[in-house]
Amino acid sequence: MNTRTYAHVDELKGFSIKNCPSMPQPGSVLMCPPDYYDVSTPLNPYMAESVGKVDKARAREQWGSLRTVFERLGKPVRMLTPAVGLEDMVFVTSQTLLGLTARMEKVCLLGHMRHPSRRGEVAHFDKWFQENGYRTVRFQDPTLTFEGMSDSVWHPGKRLLWGGHGFRTDPEVYELVAGTFESPVILLKLVNERFYHLDTCFCPLGPEAVLIYPPAFSPESLEIILRMFPVVLAADEREAARMVCNSAIVDAHTAIVPKGVPNAVLHLKALGMDVLEADVSEFVKSGGSVSCLKMMYF
């Protein structure tokens, strides 16, 4: 069982994604209604430009439309009750990392958020996942930060994690991540503050294809991506800023993308994917998009 972490290209000599064990993909969706969503405290460059500019009625309409898209695709959607004072709780990917062990045990690794204003969200997710059959695991070192599935992305259908670090997550946490999920982790360093989470600039489209924004990565991490994926699509600057890499991929053939990314839509369709557009512009004001608004769970 491989539980190594890989941070450099040279370490990956002899490593093959094809040799990683298969892992089932989750089929249900958890969302949190935007009852208290707002941008009042800037935690990233998008938010700094959008304080006090959220149209809350429009945000609720956009969120509801996205929920309907998942339901029409046959994905059951359950709700996490939002909490007063936690305006970013609508973005449900940062608080936890979900996965299955080799024995198919459902595990939820709890995050430790970089910003104190978001740390109160984690307890609500802890309770929900315990009530829904997950074993929850917590970091013992309170000095380390980890932002869940915003920075940790499963390779489609494989027991392999891609681990982002540089802004919100400390690279040291991936030793525990690898051991908890009995999975290797390939680390990717983020260097552009506008792409502060891995899921803002890295979107696996299937086992062999990925959509990225290249300037978000260190040169060595970009080299790793180019070596490991046979097909690499590069988002342009304008569409990357619209959070195209924060799209959601459903069943490896349908991409739900933020509205207004025509170049990416053409490339995804050329790969044979079905593409659905969702207007999530009110949430892009906070630095999140389609993928941030849903958590796929087992």
| Distance from C-alpha of 221 to C-alpha of 172, rounded to nearest angstrom | 16
Q: Are 204 and 226 in contact (CB under 8 A)?
A: no
H, E, C per residue of 138-180: CCCCCCCCECHHHHEEECCCECCEEEEECCCCCHHHHHHHHHH
Among 197, 201, 203, 267, the active-site one is 197
| Distance from C-alpha of 271 to C-alpha of 268, rounded to nearest angstrom | 5
SS3 content of the chain, % helix, strand, coil (to 5): 35, 25, 45
Among 108, 201, 203, 292, the active-site one is 292
Structure tokens at 139: 């970091």
Phi/psi at 221 (nearest 5 deg)? -65, -40
The question of whether 292 is a catalytic residue gets the answer yes
- Residues serving a catalytic function are 197, 292
